[in-house]
Amino acid sequence: MMDDSTKTGDVSFALEGRLTASNIGPVWAEAAQTLERNPDRRVVVDASRLDYVDNTGIALLFDLKRRRRPKGAEIEIQGLAPNLATLVPDDDPEDLSGAAPQAPSVGLFEQIGRATEQQITYVRRMLAFLSDCGAALLLATRRRGVVRWSETLIVATEAGANAVPIVLLIGFLMGVIIAFEIGLVARQFGAVIFVVDGVGVAMLRELGPLMTAIVFAGRTGAAFAAQIGTQKVNEEINAILTFGLDPIHFLVLPRLLAAVLVVPLLTVFADVVGLFGGALVLVSFDIGFVQFYNHLLGAVGMNDLLVGLLKAAVFGFAIAAIGCERGLSTGAGATSVGLSATSAVVTSIVWVVVLDGLFTVLLSG
Amino acid sequence: MAPAEAATTVHAEPAISVRNLRMGYGTKVLLDQASFDVQREEIVVILGGSGCGKSSLMKNIIGLYPPMAGDVLIAGDSIVSASPADKAHIQRKLGIMYQSGALFGSLTVLENVRFPLDEFTDIGPSQKDLAARLLLRTVEMGYAESLMPGELSGGMLKRAGIARAMALGCDILLLDEPSAGMDPITAANLDRTILRLRENLGFTFVVVTHELSSIFTIADRAVMLDPVSRRIIAEGKPSELRDQSKDPRVRQFFNREPDALPNAGTKRT
């Protein structure tokens, strides 16, 4: 226990028993207060009944020892057992006092500059990466054995076949939702039959590819970034490079090809169940399946399906490329893998929507 | 201060007691009928060839994996049959350094070492910083306090991990391959730190390692596992095991001899 007792002008207190992390908090605070209250008096610390200290106790003793105080107001630790005394460091390096160094704060202009530079670097790296991918694809068409088809098949299974249930569910629900929404409005005008046009065009040209791409970005784009990012952290990428192999051929090409093949296929699934969902809803608006089918044939053409599939292939390429690029530019540690995966999903979805807009403008004119 | 705590605490029971432990994964048994005690203020190394289950044994001792059979007592309390709350309480008596350091990637080195103090004590902020800095200096990592774990080398991660294991003042420390990947000087300094902590504060250490020089320097006792027989094949003072063991596997390990070649003994004609 601590007791302030004043005799001969000195302040003294005692440290007793066992001082450990669990009980040292109040003792330390009291000691610090005692020292602050008596800046110009000698302080005697009686440590003769101190049995045991842990690291925090050592830190307390060091804290008492290192304080610089004016002459006549020194701190004297008395009776500290030799085994404990050897553990308390003697010197007072400057770096142990004060708060942990903070990163210097960055001004507004510097922030804008850094962000701009970061974006320029990113665009430049993405362009370089895309040209590398293009070159790899070109080489793949000319020379046999460049593409690792077995790997491509494994990726396609995981990214494609295993994604069928979720794509079916989302496609079906999209068909149901838009048929219902348009149906309610169209009924007011007695134009329910034109809902078939709406559902057909919307599913085939827009929602089929778009929803599939968004599922693919969340499911597979993130997985690509996390897989390749973890390989980067574990130095597998370096191992590939020092074998004289190209990570683009080795890791990226199979994923790109798988994505370009699989996203249009998934889109077909989404289209079919979406139309089926729409037809199901329209039954409740008194339009039978046969009527729906006959009207659909007049409303949409092969052209609409192909535009949707072309979009899907481009989306697939973009998502896979962004996922792989994010993976390859992962920094060190688990945190950066997480950042890469997040960034892959966000960037992919933004780009899918931007590309969708471009398609709409180009193909409508 | 803490009047409830006696001036000198007498520990009758061993710090760690492993009793008839059988452990493994699924149906695969890695180690069977393992029994040994670690007394207070003792430094025991667990050793054996790669893949014999040293790290798994440590994870059984600290209660991360449940053993297939047998019991582990920490200061007399069973960690195997404890309720989750009791188990957490027992685990807090142990300072543990994992093989890779296992620092939290989102915190700086200093914040990592301060983390247990932040969670479990009422020490003031600047005082916690001071305590954490002293610990980092003990493992010669003072210069790296504001770095993120991602910026450290393997040996540095381990040293910061040791500092974090010691932060709460646990007097039983378990270290998984502490000196692997360290330069010889740092490894020797770490050995010295371990010995000083034992001598001056009465710490108990269980160290998983196969660094022979470290074993001979620090260990009071070695417990050697064998992956083939899945038993503890030797227990004793390392220098005695090296010089006097009747088991050729033990002598081979301590004398760092290679396996006999398959065609050894056949003369080339």
Which candidate from B120, B148, B201 shows the least CB-CB separation from A21? B120
Tokens 């709350």: give the residue: B85
A51, part of any domain: yes
CB contact under 8 A, B201 and A56: no
Residue with the larger pLDDT of the pair B234 and B265: B234
Question: Quick check: ipTM above 0.85?
Answer: no
Adjacent-strand bridge partners of B206: B44, B174
Task: Say whether both A73 and A204 belong to one domain.
Answer: no
Tens digits of per-residue pLDDT, A162-193? 999 999 999 999 999 999 999 999 999 988 89
Tokens 């393992």: give the residue: B34
Distance from CA of B97 to the nearest CA of A (A): 16
Closest B-chain CA to A333 = B150
Arithmetic mean of pLDDT over chain A: 88
Residue A17 vs residues A47, A62, B7, B144: alpha-carbon distances, Å = 9, 18, 5, 34
The pLDDT of residue B190: 85
CB contact under 8 A, B169 and A95: no
If you count residue pairs, one on A and one on B, with CB atoms under 8 Å apart, how many are there? 119
Please report, for chain B, the start and end positions of each structural domain, with discontinuous segments joined by +.
Answer: 42-52+91-254
Tens digits of per-residue pLDDT, A52-64? 888 888 888 888 8
When pLDDT is averaged across residues B158-171 and rounded to a whole number, the result is 86
Closest A-chain CA to B123 = A25
The pLDDT of residue A97: 60
Task: Say whether both A235 and A351 belong to one domain.
Answer: yes
Binning pLDDT at 50, 70 and 90, where does residue B3 land?
Answer: very low
Residue B23 vs residues A44, B90, B176, B238: alpha-carbon distances, Å = 55, 20, 18, 25
Least confident interval from A82-86, A127-131, A352-356 = A82-86
In B40-145 the beta strands, taken as DSSP E runs, fall at 43-47, 69-74, 77-78, 94-97
When pLDDT is averaged across residues A141-155 and rounded to a whole number, the result is 86
The pLDDT of residue B5: 42
CB contact under 8 A, B167 and A62: no
Closest A-chain CA to B128 = A56
Interface probe for A, chosen from B100, B134, B152, B196 (most Cβ of A below 10 Å), is B134
Adjacent-strand bridge partners of A6: A11
Tens digits of per-residue pLDDT, B31-73? 889 999 999 999 999 988 777 888 889 889 988 888 999 999 9
CB distance A127 to A321 below 8 Å = no
Stated as kind and residue range, the H or E segment containing A210 is helix A208-216
When pLDDT is averaged across residues A107-117 and rounded to a whole number, the result is 91
The pLDDT of residue B2: 41
User: What's the N-to-C CA distance of chain B in angstroms?
Assistant: 81
Tell me phi and psi for residue A144, to 5 degrees. Answer: -80, 155
Q: Which of residues 17-76 of B touch A (CB under 8 A)?
A: none
Beta-strand relationship, B221-226 and B43-47: parallel
**Three-state secondary-structure class, residue B177:** coil
Which candidate from B1, B149, B166 shows the least CB-CB separation from A55? B166
A133, part of any domain: no
Distance CA A141, CA A84 (A): 74
* Cβ neighbours of residue A63 closer than 8 Å, sequence gap 6 or more: A28, A31, A32, B127, B130
CB contact under 8 A, B8 and A51: yes
A364 has pLDDT over 50:
yes
Read out DSSP for A31-76? HHHHHHH-TTS-EEEE-TTEEEE-HHHHHHHHHHHH----TT--EE
Q: How many domains does chain A have?
A: 2
Give the alpha-carbon dihedral of A90, A95, A98, A101, to 10 degrees. -160
Tens digits of per-residue pLDDT, A313-325? 999 999 999 999 9
The pLDDT of residue B248: 85
CB distance B61 to B240 below 8 Å = no
Tokens of B183: 């330069």
Which CATH number does B42-52+91-254 carry? 3.40.50.300
* Cβ neighbours of residue B150 closer than 8 Å, sequence gap 6 or more: A331, A332, A333, A335, A336, B105
Q: Which of residues 143-172 of B touch A (CB under 8 A)?
A: 145-146, 148-151, 166-169, 171
A195 has pLDDT over 70:
yes
Closest A-chain CA to B143 = A95
User: DSSP code of B235?
Assistant: E
Tokens 């299974």: give the residue: A157
B269 has pLDDT over 80:
no
Distance from CA of B264 to the nearest CA of A (A): 35
Closest B-chain CA to A25 = B123
Which candidate from B5, B121, B201 shows the least CB-CB separation from A21? B121
CB contact under 8 A, A20 and B8: no
Distance CA B116, CA A335 (A): 21
Distance CA B59, CA A9 (A): 56
The pLDDT of residue A188: 92
Q: Residue A69: is it exposed, middle or buried by C-beta count within 10 angstroms (0-12/13-18/19+)?
A: middle
Q: Is B185 on the interface with A (CB under 8 A)?
A: no
The pLDDT of residue B202: 84
The number of beta carbons lying within 10 Å of the beta carbon of residue B218 is: 24
Distance CA B32, CA A35 (A): 58
Q: Residue B88: is it exposed, middle or buried by C-beta count within 10 angstroms (0-12/13-18/19+)?
A: exposed
Distance CA A296, CA A190 (A): 18
Tens digits of per-residue pLDDT, A275-300? 999 999 999 998 999 999 999 999 89
Which candidate from B3, B108, B123 shows the least CB-CB separation from A56? B123
Q: Is B201 on the interface with A (CB under 8 A)?
A: yes
Binning pLDDT at 50, 70 and 90, where does residue A268 land?
Answer: very high
**Parent domain of A80:** 5-96
User: DSSP code of A105?
Assistant: P
Task: Say whether both A199 and A77 belong to one domain.
Answer: no
CB contact under 8 A, B146 and A333: no
Distance from CA of B167 to the nearest CA of A (A): 7
- CATH number of the domain encompassing residue A73: 3.30.750.24
Least confident interval from A65-69, A281-285, A341-345 = A65-69
Which candidate from B8, B134, B145 shows the least CB-CB separation from A58? B134
- Helix, strand, coil percentages (3-state) for chain B, rounded to 5, are 35, 20, 40
**Pick from B133, B236, B95: which is nearest to A62 by CA?**
B133
- Number of C-alpha atoms within 13 angstroms, CB side, residue B126? 9
Which candidate from B120, B131, B146 shows the least CB-CB separation from A59? B131
Task: Say whether both A49 and A151 belong to one domain.
Answer: no
A4 has pLDDT over 80:
no
The residue length of chain A stands at 365
CB contact under 8 A, A21 and B171: no
The pLDDT of residue B212: 87
CB contact under 8 A, A87 and B196: yes
Tokens of B43: 């430094």
**Pick from B25, B36, B26: which is nearest to B70 by CA?**
B36
The sign one gets for the Cα dihedral A272, A273, A276, A277 is negative
Q: Residue B232: is it exposed, middle or buried by C-beta count within 10 angstroms (0-12/13-18/19+)?
A: buried
Tens digits of per-residue pLDDT, A243-267? 878 888 889 999 999 999 999 999 9
A123, part of any domain: no
The pLDDT of residue A183: 93
